[in-house]
Amino acid sequence: LSLSLPPKSPASAFWQPIRSFALSQLTSLVRRATLRESDLTPKYEKVHNFKVHTFRGPHWCEYCANFMWGLIAQGVKCADCGLNVHKQCSKVVPNDCQPDLRHVKKVYSCDLTTLVKAHNTKRPMVVDMCIQEIEARGLQSEGLYRISGFSELVEDVKLAFDRDGEKVDISSNVYEDINIITGALKLYFRELPIPLITYDAYPHFMESAKVTDPEKRLESLHEALKLLPPAHCETLRYLMAHLKRVTDYEKDNLMTSENLGIVFGPTLMRAPDLDAMTALNDIRYQRLVVETLITNEDVLF
């Protein structure tokens, strides 16, 4: 006995390819939306910024759900996202801090990963906005990044970013001198509590700069870049690509990769607790690191 399926009705046969097409389009849309979302909102990992805290009234730990006993210093609170936990629980809480703009009130002097997670961006908005403004009207400006803008106006840009965030106006209508914008960008990097090239990665970058063979130096720098937190690495990549474009106009702006290395070396990296002589000796290697990153940004990132 053989069983056969009933023949498909003409209507069913007609609708089947349309259904398949609609399903494939929907799947494609979902995939594209997911990719777009992941592109715009990267999932950077961030540790919690716990501080000992005295809670008023009864409080329960948000990790273990047990009561937080005591009258003072009953637990710790994350200064960036507001998570309340026991001190002992803070050691096992996952690195899933999602900073809240109610707690993150500044742009300058704020930890870079904290800032991008709070604003749900790929890079700090001050970096993107300043670079876009500089590329729109300043690439041919002589001494770009070397010439300092008027310090009071640079400070004014800083205060405007801290106050207005991405709504700040840094156009030529407000700041005609492009050196004010370059000064504001350099100031942002100088005031980072953890430098763009972090304290932990600093020794590895210094060792890379001391490698004399160009190919081996690139290999060493490539390994050193892996030590940077993702948000730091992405911001460094974006900055180096921009500085490479600055060198494309070096006949006008007189800024070679070596000159930019001199400017940005001490701005992007600094060693913790070095004596004066060692710090002075490191300057030439800092310059070499930035110069090499600019020249080879298309290979290294």
Measure Cα distances from 211 to 199, 260, 294 in Å.
Answer: 20, 21, 17
| Residue 9, pLDDT above cutoff 70 | no
Measure Cα distances from 292 to 251, 253, 268, 271, 297 in Å.
Answer: 20, 20, 14, 19, 8
**Pick from 12-16, 132-136, 278-282: least confident:** 12-16
pLDDT tens digits, one per residue of 56-69: 888 888 877 788 88
Q: Whole-angstrom Cα distance, residue 223 to residue 66?
A: 44
pLDDT-derived band at 277, boundaries 50, 70, 90: confident
CA geometry: angle 45, 82, 127, nearest 5 deg: 50
Average pLDDT of the segment spanning 234-260: 98
In 3D space, the residue among 97, 99, 78 whose CA is nearest the CA of residue 87 turns out to be 78
Q: Whole-angstrom Cα distance, residue 70 to residue 32?
A: 51
Tokens representing 216 are 């081996």
Count Cα neighbours of 187 within 13 Å in the Cβ-side half-sphere.
24
What's the confidence (pLDDT) of residue 288? 97
Q: Whole-angstrom Cα distance, residue 248 to residue 252?
A: 9
pLDDT tens digits, one per residue of 68-113: 888 888 889 888 788 888 888 888 888 877 777 677 789 999 999 9
What's the confidence (pLDDT) of residue 247? 98
| Residue 40, pLDDT above cutoff 70 | no
Q: Are 195 and 271 in contact (CB under 8 A)?
A: no
What's the confidence (pLDDT) of residue 171? 96
pLDDT tens digits, one per residue of 20-29: 555 555 544 4
Measure Cα distances from 31 to 35, 98, 121 in Å.
Answer: 6, 25, 20
**Pick from 53-62, 238-247, 256-265: least confident:** 53-62
| Residue 36, pLDDT above cutoff 70 | no
- In degrees and rounded to multiples of 5, residue 108 shows phi and psi of -75, 150
**Pick from 27-41, 76-90, 228-242, 256-270: least confident:** 27-41
pLDDT tens digits, one per residue of 153-188: 999 999 999 999 999 999 999 999 999 999 999 999
